[in-house]
Amino acid sequence: MEELATCALFVLVFDLALGWTYWILVLQLQPPDRGGLLWLWGFGAVKWITLHYLSRILTAGKPGPVLVRLVCLLSLLWPVTESALMVASKEDRPYTGPPPDLSAVLFRALASLLACVVWERGLYDEKSAKRKKPQVHGAGQLFRRLLQFFKPDWFYLCTAFGALVVGVICDALIPLYQGEVIDMMRASMVEVDFILAVTKLAVVSLSSAMFSGTRGGLFMFSLARLNRRLKHLLFHTLLQQEIQFFEEKKSGQLSSRLHSDVDRMGRTVALNANVLVRSVVKTCLMLVVMVRLSWELTVLTVLEMPLLGLVQNKYTTLSTELKEQIQAHHAQISDQVLQTVSGIETVRSFNAEKVEIQRYSAALEQLRQVKRQYGIYSSSFTFIRRIVSLGIRILFLVMARRLLQNDQLSIGSLVTFLLYQKPMSSNLREIMYGYGETKSTVGIIANVFTYLDRKPKSQTAGNLAPEKLEGRIVFENVSFTYASTSAEKTTPTALKSVSLELRPGKMTALVGPSGSGKTTCVSLLKRLYEPQEGRILLDGEPLHQYDLTYLHKKMAVVSQNPVLFCGSLKYNIEYGLKESNMDTVQEAAARIKAESHFSELNNGYDTDVGESGGKLSEGLRQSIAVLRALVRDPQVIILDEATSKLDVHAQHAVLEEVLSGDRTVLVVAHQLETVEKADHIIYLENGQIVEEGTHQDLMNKRGRYYSLKEELFHSEGNWSRLSEKGPLYSGHVCCFSSDLSFRNRSFSPRFWRLWSRHPPAQPAASRCIHVDSPPITPTLTTSYAHGTSSVSLLHATIPELLLSTVELVPDREAVAFLKDGCPEADGI
């Protein structure tokens, strides 16, 4: 810093020496008009070269931007101001060259130095420039890129800019013609001239209104089109992203990017460009007129700009940070409200309303604090701005009085000047404001473009779409780990070298404890994620090579909690289908035993399902999801706990329906009775396959699968599931058995009578109860069958539940069973 100051001092001293040398030369040589502008510009060029080399020598070849700016100002300030004075000089006072004034040399040098200091300390905020270096550096590029989005609207924009320029010219001429009209009011003037002046004023005012209106309308129109295009593109890009992206970003954040950020972006370019161009054109035109009236008063008026710029720059830097914080708080609050409202049932059942209100209030309080800070900055800025304006105004009045007293300005010219002064000041303010707004939007534009440019990390889909799909799916040593978020350093491996095969026409079941990786397998099949190792093949081809639309048509995934959209039942079942086919829907609904439930609803298939299907029972929601998949007739069906809320009959009906048509079926279920029918059962644990085979194989093996079945039966949860199946009626038989040959058999009342008299010998492989009283709901404490209480049932080691009716029962089966299990029954 000290080194820089020393160099600047040397440059200044050298500049003074050059300045005084110039005047000595002029006074000696006495050229016409003291050399005029030609000499001045020539001297400026010589000075620039000399000072530039001097600064290079002083700084060992690296003068730096500060010295470069100082040298430029020192060299050009004089010829530029003299050229402006010559342009502005009135015809009756022709330009006679600069007067010899040695003190002016010193004054100009000091003014240049002061301008450089103001620039470095105020307008050029080094701290914020460093902090936002990558953004500020690319600001021009960002705006150029944003302008490219306006390409389809070039016609409207060109017309708007044309209207803008014409409107501004008319605007700038209005005060001039107003002054003329005032002059024509004098009695000595002829009426025709007065009428002519009024007509000119009217035409100019009318044109200004018309062109300004056209300009405003066209800008708004283009802006609306740009918004639509940008939002569409951004939404499209967002939907292409991989699932991890949505897991990391909050929905409030994304919604804020999509709406407020895009709105602000468009507004900045369209409106600020409009305001900036309008104000700059107007200012230039007005400057020409004002300088001709009085350059002294013009300098004072214009002086307001750099001073206000200084304040505005500081304010922009501080307020940009706060604006970003406000936006982040808004996103967080809307996220919070969304979560609470969508999870209102959980909130209510855990009596957490107060906690949620407190959380909301805390978030609102944080927002209030940031807004308060913003308010303080804003009012301080307004105060300082007003003070600066007031100071300048006082100076202006003092100067105007002096000019009037010296006859350098007439009252008429002063009135015209004043008519220009107010719009001029507001123009300058608009330029400042537009500049500040544009600068503070750079970060927002960069954010939106970051999203627009984001390439999804998932592999891009291929275009494979064979006419016939067999549906053979193979996992070859597939390993997968979920990406860790910033909060967690590592995540456990969800799948470790899993190899399995799903065959067409067969049902495969994935079972295992929670967190074993079942849903991860389904997610990989849905291509929500890509395996890090190994590959997944569909009919021998890697899954990612299939066209996504084709894949989703051929492979349907039904999950436990299907997403339903606001609308009718019919809308949700036919969601995404090009053509409605209610006959197929109704037939399929009948086959999965859902038709009667649907027709019981008030408006049948037109019944509104409510938000996320909230007006329907969970079972009905699952039926809709199953139907939604079935009506598309996919070759591969994946049921991820998809029938867990359906009753036993409906579960069997769904399984029968999906297995028809040679489909490849994958079932993920915790209810092991659902998977027993599977042709192949795969038992996963900690992301690895530990057992596989048929139900019989696994039961015989007495391994993990067998233990899980045992555990499930003993757990109280199993008993509640029994209760969920509804009341048991007189004449029903409940059988608990581990003997597989016992399944799906029914027994007559005679059998029961025998059974109660002759219970099986120890160790018993079976327990049965006969419900012979009017409808009862089984509960833990009910004792309802031939001396067998529910408590003893819970202690039974037999993991099977069957319900059947007595009418279908042939007696000999009972005899056969009793012969098998109870030797005392021989001969019955």
Ligand X SMILES: Nc1ncnc2c1ncn2[C@@H]1O[C@H](COP(=O)(O)OP(=O)(O)OP(=O)(O)O)[C@@H](O)[C@H]1O
Residue ranges in contact with ligand X by CB under 6 A: 247, 482, 491-492, 494, 512, 514-520
Nearest distance in Å: CB 375, ligand X: 41
- Helix 618-630 / helix 582-591 crossing angle, nearest 10 deg: 120
Nearest distance in Å: CB 788, ligand X: 34
Q: Which amino acid is at 345?
A: E
Nearest distance in Å: CB 625, ligand X: 16
Smallest CA-to-CA distance from 283 within 83, 426, 438, 80 is with 426
Nearest distance in Å: CB 247, ligand X: 6
Nearest distance in Å: CB 382, ligand X: 49
Q: Look up residue 567 and give its two tokens.
A: 């609308």
Residue nearer to ligand X on the CB measure, 530 or 539 = 530
Q: Would you say 319 and 378 are in contact if contact means Cβ atoms under 8 Å apart?
A: yes
SS3 467: coil
How far is Cα 55 from Cα 15, in angstroms, rounded to an integer?
11
Residue nearer to ligand X on the CB measure, 494 or 809 = 494
How far is Cα 454 from Cα 456, in angstroms, rounded to an integer?
6
Nearest distance in Å: CB 485, ligand X: 8
Smallest CA-to-CA distance from 109 within 5, 11, 1, 7 is with 11
Residue nearer to ligand X on the CB measure, 356 or 533 = 533
What is the β-pairing status of strands 533-538 and 541-542? antiparallel
DSSP, res 122: I
Residue nearer to ligand X on the CB measure, 19 or 512 = 512
For residue 651, count other CB atoms closer than 10 A to its CB. Answer: 22
Residue nearer to ligand X on the CB measure, 426 or 484 = 484
Residues whose CB falls within 8 Å of the CB of residue 536, separated by 6 or more in sequence, listed in order: 473, 474, 475, 476, 478, 524, 525, 542, 543
Q: Look up residue 367 and give its two tokens.
A: 């927002």
How far is Cα 646 from Cα 813, in angstroms, rounded to an integer?
30
Nearest distance in Å: CB 522, ligand X: 8
DSSP H or E run through 389: helix 353-405
Q: Look up residue 685 and give its two tokens.
A: 């644990």
Nearest distance in Å: CB 645, ligand X: 15
The three state secondary structure string of 783-796 is EEECCEEHHHHHCC
Nearest distance in Å: CB 517, ligand X: 4
Smallest CA-to-CA distance from 767 within 742, 748, 784 is with 742
Residue nearer to ligand X on the CB measure, 163 or 684 = 684
Q: Look up residue 506 and give its two tokens.
A: 């067969």
Q: Look up residue 527 and give its two tokens.
A: 């291509």
Residue nearer to ligand X on the CB measure, 484 or 580 = 484
How far is Cα 610 from Cα 394, in angstroms, rounded to an integer?
68
Residue nearer to ligand X on the CB measure, 207 or 479 = 479
Smallest CA-to-CA distance from 322 within 449, 434, 440, 432 is with 440
Q: Which amino acid is at 217?
A: G
Q: Characterise 60 by phi-psi region: left (phi > 0), alpha (psi -120 to 50), beta (else).
A: left
Nearest distance in Å: CB 480, ligand X: 9
Residue nearer to ligand X on the CB measure, 19 or 517 = 517
Residue nearer to ligand X on the CB measure, 197 or 494 = 494
Residue nearer to ligand X on the CB measure, 514 or 602 = 514
Nearest distance in Å: CB 640, ligand X: 8
Q: Would you say 567 and 614 are in contact if contact means Cβ atoms under 8 Å apart?
A: no
